[in-house]
């Protein structure tokens, strides 16, 4: 084994003197003065709290057990989440591969070869005559060998360390991708559920409108038969009945579409959640006060920003990879084997061949290829940094837009509730006058129709209020949880 000592000495010296080229990643750049945590969101109002919101399970504050169950099922079985987790597994395997590539590779080798080569020296001393059928200017031999090969490229300038850094950053980015998929999924489930419950209530109201329109149509028929009305009034009333029926059919189709969407979101076939949704339920409403934190918390919390930041870290590490490729490369080759020209030579364990060969390579004259690769890596890093800044600004805008939408939805819901209360009071007054004989039935029906329209508007306002709350939760980057490593 003394043949290996000089090579090991060289390798150890190289490792002791190794350095890591390329810039060290110093973290993401500050954006819009949010990194110091100063200030809050511009559109926040008295109904928002500056405290940090809970990241996971935000929908539980709505107090709807059916929604809770649908969210749980979606997180467990949605195909998009499975896709994101598979990407994490691939990134983790890539990191293991890069770490393994930093170590020596050892392989077994077996050779059985027949050689036929020119006899370069000629036959000048009365050598043996060649066998019959063989030319006098060639030599033949057999070779049998068993052995081990070892190869190791020493990370002299840290190129492989930078590759590993990039792989680690990509793994973290893939893990953030799972969280981002969870954020989008939980918001989509809640939105579809709200839309379904809204349609469910609106169908009931629309069916009552059909009944009331039928009552008005019968009233117009009676008036026409008595000669007190016109055929135009009769046909107009019948048209309104059919339009009300069309409204019911359209709402039912929309409800079935949202039920199908929920089934797909939980990873099942359309119709699989119909039984869960069959029992009517009120639209869940958001809490009176909502925690939103501040912009600095948002940047730390949103998974898509984490993905963009990890991409920037990976691209920064790849600059070092490109710079290390321009510098000398030191590798080590070792061979240990037994054998000879006859098969029985493989049994001579005390007669082995050992080769230790350090090799230094340096493409010092590449006509600018290495510099161009470094330039490309730097440009990709700059692109990733710009993309990160853009992602942060987009996230800030989404939160501000969501806050504005949520505030407007609260105001609209309150206004619609007052309008519905007035319509209910008008219907009650009309009913009292009708029962006293001071008003015809048609006027009562008109008041009932006006109340139904106000109720429908209130349902839509409530649905929009909670939908805006869901949009705000998504903009804040909520709805994900840490996943255990495999």
Whole-angstrom distance, CA of residue 465 vs CA of residue 459: 10
* Range(s) of the domain holding residue 178: 2-114+137-475
Mean pLDDT, residues 104-116: 81
151 found inside a domain:
yes
Q: What is the mean pLDDT of the chain?
A: 87
Domain at 229, CATH number: 1.20.1600.10
125 found inside a domain:
no
Tally of domains in the chain:
1
Report the pLDDT value the prediction gives residue 254, as an integer from 0 to 100: 97
Report the pLDDT value the prediction gives residue 38, as an integer from 0 to 100: 53
448 found inside a domain:
yes
290 found inside a domain:
yes
Per-range mean pLDDT, top range of 30-34, 353-357, 375-379: 375-379
Query: Is-contact 427 447, C-beta < 8 A?
Result: yes
List pLDDT tens digits, range 215-254. 988 988 888 888 888 889 889 989 999 999 999 999 999 9
Query: Is-contact 171 455, C-beta < 8 A?
Result: no
124 found inside a domain:
no
Residue carrying structure tokens 């003065």: 33
List pLDDT tens digits, range 281-309. 999 999 999 999 999 999 999 999 999 99
Mean pLDDT, residues 102-128: 70
> Would you give the distance in Å from CA 383 to the centre of its chain?
20
Mean pLDDT, residues 131-147: 70
- 354's CB contacts (< 8 A; 6+ apart) are 1, 3, 4, 334, 335, 336
Give the pLDDT band of residue 360 (cuts 50, 70, 90): confident
More confident residue, 331 or 96: 96
Report the pLDDT value the prediction gives residue 207, as an integer from 0 to 100: 96
> With pLDDT > 90 as the criterion, what percentage of the chain qualifies?
59
Report the pLDDT value the prediction gives residue 486, as an integer from 0 to 100: 52
Per-residue pLDDT at 465 exceeds 50: yes
Report the pLDDT value the prediction gives residue 408, as an integer from 0 to 100: 96
130 found inside a domain:
no
Report the pLDDT value the prediction gives residue 126, as an integer from 0 to 100: 47
Per-residue pLDDT at 99 exceeds 50: yes
Least confident of 103-107, 380-384, 437-441: 103-107
Report the pLDDT value the prediction gives residue 12, as an integer from 0 to 100: 46
Report the pLDDT value the prediction gives residue 143, as an integer from 0 to 100: 76
Strands 138-154 and 352-361: unpaired
Query: Is-contact 28 388, C-beta < 8 A?
Result: yes
Report the pLDDT value the prediction gives residue 131, as an integer from 0 to 100: 56
Residue carrying structure tokens 């912009």: 295
Per-residue pLDDT at 74 exceeds 60: yes
Query: Is-contact 301 47, C-beta < 8 A?
Result: no
HEC string of the chain? CHHHHHHHHHHHHHHHCCCCCCCCCCCCCCCCCCCCCCCCCCCCCCCEECCCCCCCCHHHHHCCHHHHHHHHHHHHHCHHHHHHHHHHHHHHHHHHHHHHHCCCEEEEEEEEEEEEEECCCCCCCCCCCCCCCCCCCEEEEEEEEEEEEEEEEECCCCHHHHHHHHHHHHHHHHHHHHHHHHHHHHHHHHHHHHHHHHHHHHHHHHHHHHHHHHHHHHHHHHHHHCCCCCHHHHHHHHHHHHHHHHHHHHHHHHHHHHHHHHHHHCCCCCCCCHHHHCCCCCCCCCCCCEECCCHHHHHHHCHHHHHHHHHHHHHHHHHHHHHHCCCCEEEEEEEEEEEECCHHHHHCCCCEEEEEEEEEECCCCCCCHHHHHHHHHHHHHHHHHHHHHHHHHHHHHHHHHHHHHHHHHHHHHHHHHHHHHHHHHHHHHHHHHHHCCCCCHHHHHHHHHHHHHHHHHHHHHHHHHHHHHHHHHHHCCCCCCCCCCC
More confident residue, 144 or 38: 144
132 found inside a domain:
no
Q: How many CB atoms lie within 10 A of CB 378?
A: 18
Mean pLDDT, residues 158-164: 92
Which candidate, 111, 106, 112, 110, places its Cα nearest to that of 149?
106
- 164's CB contacts (< 8 A; 6+ apart) are 95, 98, 99, 102
More confident residue, 234 or 455: 455
Query: Is-contact 123 136, C-beta < 8 A?
Result: yes
Phi/psi for 74 (5° steps) reads -65, -45
Least confident of 11-15, 92-96, 110-114, 443-447: 11-15
Query: Which two three-digit tokens encode residue 334?
Result: 């070792």
Query: Is-contact 314 169, C-beta < 8 A?
Result: yes
128 found inside a domain:
no
Report the pLDDT value the prediction gives residue 112, as an integer from 0 to 100: 81
More confident residue, 345 or 441: 441
Mean pLDDT, residues 77-87: 95
Per-residue pLDDT at 189 exceeds 60: yes
Per-residue pLDDT at 314 exceeds 90: yes
Mean pLDDT, residues 443-455: 94
Measured torsion, CA atoms of residues 120, 122, 125, 130, in degrees rounded to the nearest 10: 110
Query: Is-contact 154 330, C-beta < 8 A?
Result: yes
Report the pLDDT value the prediction gives residue 354, as an integer from 0 to 100: 77
> With pLDDT > 70 as the criterion, what percentage of the chain qualifies?
90
């Amino acid at each position: 084994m003394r043949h290996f000592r000089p090579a090991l000495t060289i390798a150890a010296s190289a490792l002791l003197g190794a350095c890591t080229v390329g810039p060290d990643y110093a973290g993401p750049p500050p954006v819009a003065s949010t990194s110091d945590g100063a200030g809050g969101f511009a559109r926040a109002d008295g109904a928002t709290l500056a405290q940090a919101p809970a990241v996971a399970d935000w929908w539980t504050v709505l107090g709807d057990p059916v929604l809770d169950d649908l969210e749980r099922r979606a997180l467990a079985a949605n195909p998009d989440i499975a896709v994101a987790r598979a990407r994490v597994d691939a990134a983790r395997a890539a990191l293991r591969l890069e770490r393994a590539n930093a170590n020596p590779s050892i392989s077994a080798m077996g050779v059985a070869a027949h050689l036929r080569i020119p006899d370069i020296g000629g036959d000048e001393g009365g050598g043996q005559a060649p066998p019959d059928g063989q030319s006098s200017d060639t030599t033949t031999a057999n070779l049998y060998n068993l052995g081990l090969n070892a190869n190791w490229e020493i990370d002299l300038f840290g190129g492989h360390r930078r590759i590993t850094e990039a792989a680690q950053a990509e793994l973290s980015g893939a893990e953030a991708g799972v969280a981002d998929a969870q954020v989008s999924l939980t918001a989509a489930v809640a939105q579809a559920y709200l839309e379904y419950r809204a349609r469910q209530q609106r169908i009931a109201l629309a069916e009552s409108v059909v009944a009331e329109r039928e009552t008005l149509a019968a009233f117009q028929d009676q008036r026409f038969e008595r000669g007190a009305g016109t055929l135009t009034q009769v046909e107009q009333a019948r048209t309104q009945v059919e339009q009300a029926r069309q409204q019911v059919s359209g709402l039912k189709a929309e409800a079935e579409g949202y039920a199908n969407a929920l089934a797909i979101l939980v990873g099942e076939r359309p119709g699989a959640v119909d039984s869960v949704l069959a029992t009517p339920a009120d639209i869940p409403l958001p809490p009176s006060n909502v925690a939103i934190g501040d912009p600095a918390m948002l940047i730390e919390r949103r998974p898509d920003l984490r993905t963009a930041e990890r991409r920037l870290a990976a691209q920064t590490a790849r600059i070092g990879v490109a710079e290390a490729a321009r510098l000398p490369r030191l590798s080590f080759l070792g061979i240990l084997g037994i054998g000879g020209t006859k098969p029985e030579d493989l049994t001579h364990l005390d007669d082995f061949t050992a080769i230790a060969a350090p090799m230094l390579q340096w493409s010092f004259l590449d006509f600018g290829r290495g510099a161009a690769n470094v330039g490309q890596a730097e440009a990709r890093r700059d692109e990733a940094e710009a993309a990160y800044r853009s992602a942060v600004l987009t996230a800030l805008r989404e939160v501000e837009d969501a806050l504005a939408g949520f505030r407007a939805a609260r105001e609209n819901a309150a206004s619609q509730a007052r309008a519905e209360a007035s319509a209910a009071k008008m219907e009650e007054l009309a009913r009292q006058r009708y029962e006293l004989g001071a008003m015809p039935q048609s006027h009562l029906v008109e008041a009932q129709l006006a109340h139904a329209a106000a109720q429908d508007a209130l349902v839509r306002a409530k649905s929009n209020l909670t939908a805006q709350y869901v949009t705000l939760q998504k903009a804040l980057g909520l709805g994900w949880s840490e996943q255990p490593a495999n």
